[in-house]
């Protein structure tokens, strides 16, 4: 099933994070963040490369100390993907990593300090053409806002953001994006909706501290999904207490499901029941593991019986419909071949890889012609 997303995206200004455009109608970029000890340069570089391999466009690295800033210098030399430095408390760290080729600075209004410190960061960013992310978080609001509102609220998040926005405007600095994150879905969604209608700066989406792989995926999918359906969001990070590679995969799954971006295989698979003519769950697990390296977009249907199997298979690039005594494989909407249960995973993998290669060649020809 191939059709354009009906989502109408919010108009926003565009900034550049390294060579990745954010906002202004650019594809919604997928981010993740390292969870290694930044001073462990080898481990951090290895994780950044794994995150990039999984499909991330941008990677954020925590810089909690000057030692970490010095480590960042060496990390920057080893990887090419755009890097965001995550800065809290000490504005001087931001100034240091700016010297070392950082592509974006993330500062937290709740703890970065007074206006003089913010001005120093902005002046440095302007001088070196580095964008800034204003990262408002419900867990670290300014003390006076905590007192005013009693607890984190959407309005408190928005007010915190506008303090920085107004100061950035006074400094005539406009190369920034914003995030307004909370672990509560309702608070996060309302805060983003409120600010999205008042500014045109790009917005970085996320549900902060969403939880582990399963619960965090669910919370992030609901919260980010609501915002993305509204057309809100220019870049996103799925925050999971899990391997950062999983954050990237979940982020891509969200965008693929909403037809906002496409990468890799979109599997259409039934949950299976007693009608299945082969073990659907086992088959899917094997296919996902074997075909994780394919990045060209394509649809693959794996349906265990003849109730919905032929219909779904006809709509996919490659489809499998369970049958007895043999299962039927479709290609481009037409029956192609039959396969037995003990060979179906191997047969499907061969056909999918062949189809993926053909699609890559077609795409390369289009690029050459243009």
* Residue 107 neighbours by CB under 8 Å, 6+ apart: 87, 88, 91, 94, 118, 121, 132, 133, 134, 135
**What whole-number distance in Å separates Cα of residue 173 and Cα of residue 296?**
39
Buried-state track 128-146, b at ≥16 Cβ within 10 A, e below 16: eebbbbbbbbbebbbeebe
Q: Do the annotations mark residue 39 as ligand-binding?
A: no
**What whole-number distance in Å separates Cα of residue 164 and Cα of residue 269?**
47
**What whole-number distance in Å separates Cα of residue 262 and Cα of residue 243?**
22
Q: Do the annotations mark residue 77 as ligand-binding?
A: no
Residue carrying the six token digits 């290694």: 36
Q: Do the annotations mark residue 288 as ligand-binding?
A: no
Q: Do the annotations mark residue 124 as ligand-binding?
A: no
**What whole-number distance in Å separates Cα of residue 134 and Cα of residue 86?**
11
DSSP 241: S
Binding residues for [4Fe-4S] cluster: 270, 273, 305, 312
Binding residues: 270, 273, 305, 312
């Amino acid at each position: 099933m191939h059709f354009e997303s009906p989502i109408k995206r919010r108009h926003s200004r565009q900034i550049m994070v390294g060579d990745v455009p954010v906002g202004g109608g650019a594809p919604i970029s997928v981010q993740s963040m390292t969870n290694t000890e930044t001073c462990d340069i080898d481990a951090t570089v290895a994780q950044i490369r794994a995150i990039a391999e999984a499909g991330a466009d941008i990677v954020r690295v925590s810089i909690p100390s000057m030692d970490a800033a010095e480590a960042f210098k060496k990390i920057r030399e080893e990887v090419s993907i755009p890097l965001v430095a995550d800065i809290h408390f000490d504005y001087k760290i931001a100034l240091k990593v700016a010297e070392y080729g950082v592509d974006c600075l993330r500062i937290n209004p709740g703890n970065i300090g007074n206006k003089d410190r913010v001005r120093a960061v902005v002046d440095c960013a302007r001088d070196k053409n580095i964008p800034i992310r204003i990262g408002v978080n419900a867990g670290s609001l300014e003390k006076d806002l905590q007192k005013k509102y009693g607890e984190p609220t959407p309005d408190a998040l928005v007010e915190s953001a506008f303090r920085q926005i107004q100061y950035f405007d006074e400094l005539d600095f406009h190369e920034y994006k914003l995030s307004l994150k909370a672990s509560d879905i309702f608070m996060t969604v309302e805060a983003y909706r409120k600010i999205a209608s008042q500014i045109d700066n790009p917005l970085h989406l996320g549900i902060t501290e969403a939880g582990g792989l399963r619960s965090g995926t669910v919370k992030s999918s609901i919260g980010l999904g609501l915002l993305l359906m509204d057309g809100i969001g220019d870049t996103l990070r799925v925050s999971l207490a899990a391997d950062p590679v999983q954050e990237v995969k979940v982020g891509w799954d969200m965008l693929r499901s909403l037809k906002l971006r496409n990468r890799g295989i979109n599997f259409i698979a039934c949950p299976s029941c007693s009608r299945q003519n082969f073990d659907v769950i086992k088959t899917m697990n094997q296919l996902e593991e074997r075909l994780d390296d394919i990045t060209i977009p394509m649809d693959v249907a794996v349906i265990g019986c003849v109730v919905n199997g032929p219909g779904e298979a006809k709509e996919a690039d490659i489809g499998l419909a369970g049958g007895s005594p043999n299962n039927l494989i479709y290609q481009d909407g037409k029956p192609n071949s039959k396969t037995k249960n003990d060979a179906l995973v191997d047969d499907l993998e061969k056909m999918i890889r062949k189809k993926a290669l053909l699609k890559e060649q077609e795409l390369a020809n289009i690029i050459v012609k243009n």
